Structure 1
């Protein structure tokens, strides 16, 4: 009797936490807003060790040295810290490298599943690089949506809410 291959990991894609209001010059400031920080801490419960998500690998967009593009990293850092030493936290792929995200995900062989946190305008391209056909555009006005991609990674099998208390109450009736 041969040994059975471990199950393919499930990939979950999420957007970074809420960002602060624009600066007077119209630019986005670095970091997370108060709500974004709240979300980052709530994710330790949503995706934590007692959750059904069984996260074994976290991939976040690489923050620039000057602090730019740090929201995805800051969003999942508390979760990664709470799951140490059992979870690898990989944050070496740059914002526009969807193929690099797909390669990092494909290189993970468990145990557990994969959580990817990224800038929302890039999540459609990441899903496509993973293999999803007809990936939708991530909602502009939502920070709580989880895309679930299961083997053979050709479609988003579930779209759900993180249901972070106090942040996602407007979507309480969503799956």
Structure 2
């Protein structure tokens, strides 16, 4: 007997199996689109980081001149007390090397601060250069930590500085002109965090610490307690 022409049963079943996913995809409708959207990961809020900001050391005032690295009077450099602060600054972070807390000059425990992995200071060379005080303040710290001081950004480029700091190796320490520090905080996206002052106070002995975890910033202000006159 001659077998009837046309597709075999096996061929028909195989064709139906291949067509099934196409039909299912076409009938998913709006409900399936909403389900896929709900399961998509949220936008990346940025990696966790810590950004610390300090003001440069003491600046020249009437009867208290500044001096450059060679000891020559220079109005753009630190005063003698500013240089003392600069050379004392490594002690502020040395305690965290073995997770201990160093005693402050007043006898109380100093709040531990993370050792910076990245250092920034305002540019003091080039067409947009400012004073030397920012670089001078953190140079001894960079030498102690074996970390170079990045002076790529001049005052007025706080937005670019903040963007670089957020992508740099953390923790980050920025030494800047105090009147421009609020612009850095704004560019970081941390200006509205609870406790952040609108302006830097008239002090040289503070560290502002901004920590971002899971996209949320927190803030604390830490006194340095490095010199005898520090609050």
TM-score, with length taken from structure 1: 0.78
More helix by share: 2
| 1:20 has 2:60 as partner | yes
Distance in 2 of aligned mates of 1:39 and 1:156 = 27
| Map of 2:158 onto structure 1 | 98
Structure 1 unmatched ranges of 5 or more: 1-6
- Larger RCO (CA under 8 A, 6+ residues apart): 1
8 Å CA contact retained: 1:11, 1:150: yes
Superposition CA RMSD, Å? 2.4
Structure 2 equivalent of residue 165 of structure 1: 227
TM-score, L = length of structure 2: 0.60
- CA distance, structure 2, for counterparts of residue 98 and residue 10 of structure 1: 17
Q: Secondary structure of the equivalent of 1:93?
A: coil
- Contact 1:31 1:74 survives alignment (8 Å): yes
Q: Match of 1:55, SS?
A: coil
Task: Quote how far apart the aligned CAs of 1:154 are.
Answer: 6.0
Runs of at least 5 residues in structure 2 that lack an aligned partner in the other structure: 1-46, 64-73, 98-111
Task: Find the aligned partners of 2:51 and 2:180 in 1 and give their Cα distance.
Answer: 16
Contact 2:122 2:130 in 1 (8 A): no
Q: How many residues matched?
A: 154
